[in-house]
Amino acid sequence: MQHAPLIIDVAGTRLNKTERQRLAHPLVGGVILFGRNWESRAQLAKLCRQIKKVRPDLLICVDHEGGRVQRFRSDGFTHLPPMRALGQMWLGEVAQPPGAAALSACRAATACGYVLAAELRACGVDLSFTPVLDLDHGGSAVIGDRALGADARVVSVLAQALMHGLLQAGMRNCGKHFPGHGYVAADSHHEIPVDERSLEAILVADAAPYGWLQASLDAVMPAHVVYSQVDARPAGFSARWIEGILRQQLGFGGAVFSDDLSMAGARRLDGREIGSTEAALAALQAGCDLVLLCNQSVVDDGAPIDELIDGLSRAQIEGRWQPSALSEQRRLELLPAAPAPLWDELMVSPRYMQALSLLP
């Protein structure tokens, strides 16, 4: 049974022979790009063509939210605002008729989504891990202005508008970080945050957008956060969170990505240190369809990626992991269904120019 759950990275601005071999492996389902993979639009487009030449079904992904999380910023790419700017538009700074500020913010959110997706797709990128659905509780530096706001209702409406803009450009979406990373101060890149609130408190606040948006979300990324009143494992390794709450209780039926397995929040499980293969198996067994391992192509010529591919292959042979046809279907559904726009044509299209004029 085919299932390609691994999303890996590449080292530079073009593929080398070893990377082509990795990407051709049947367990590899996609690539995540970073700033080091960027020189220019022409180079990025060529890199994406090289990836698709290895396998047309490979999903090319990037974290490209706007604000401080935007991988490509020059050679024509629009500097998108942090998502907090949309929430501030909703609140309004001057007296306006009732509802006018909220409607303007929604219109700007759709414009942000369209510009973001259209520019990426014109260079060959398939998916951005956006929108951020975390609430801004004021104490998380890693989330901060990446959040649309503090009110789950406002966040949900603005995220819906942003996802509409993505869809207009032919791009799917990925809400993150389920059930919410905004309450804890610790950064899961460097430590394991613990949220001690009750399940009820989380569901009525941080997790609420996932229930309200379940019919519109194409993918979800759980947080490397321990919600100690619910499960001792981080959400990305918790069957209770992924299968029990996200899928059964909230009704989500799309793809679930693990967050980066190289993060500190993913390297300790059940009180002990684990490697990337064990982390990947734990995430897949908990209900993730796809797992990310980031920034490892630049470590020992990519040895950690090869170890993960070999480790998951052995686990499959030994019966410790079973491929999922449903997970593979969810991965393939994230690929764009329509041809990407040409950059030069995009730059003069009325929809694009209008969207630019609406950005905050």
Active-site residue list: 189, 259
Judged on CB neighbours under 10 Å (0-12, 13-18, 19+), 343 is: middle
Contact 15, 52 (CB under 8 A): no
Q: Cα Rg for the chain, rounded, in angstroms?
A: 20
Q: Which residue has the tokens 């609430």?
A: 135
Contact 70, 130 (CB under 8 A): no
**276, 262 contact by CB (below 8 A):** yes
Distances (CA, A) of 119 to 75, 82, 128, 272: 11, 17, 11, 43
Cα gap 205→225, rounded to integer Å: 16
- Rounded to a whole number of angstroms, the distance between the first and last alpha carbons of the chain is 47
Helices 152-168 and 100-122, axial angle in degrees (round to 10)? 40
Neighbours of 232 (CB within 10 A): 13
Q: Which two tokens stand for residue 339?
A: 């041809």
Q: What residues pair up with 257 in beta bridges, in sequence order?
A: 290
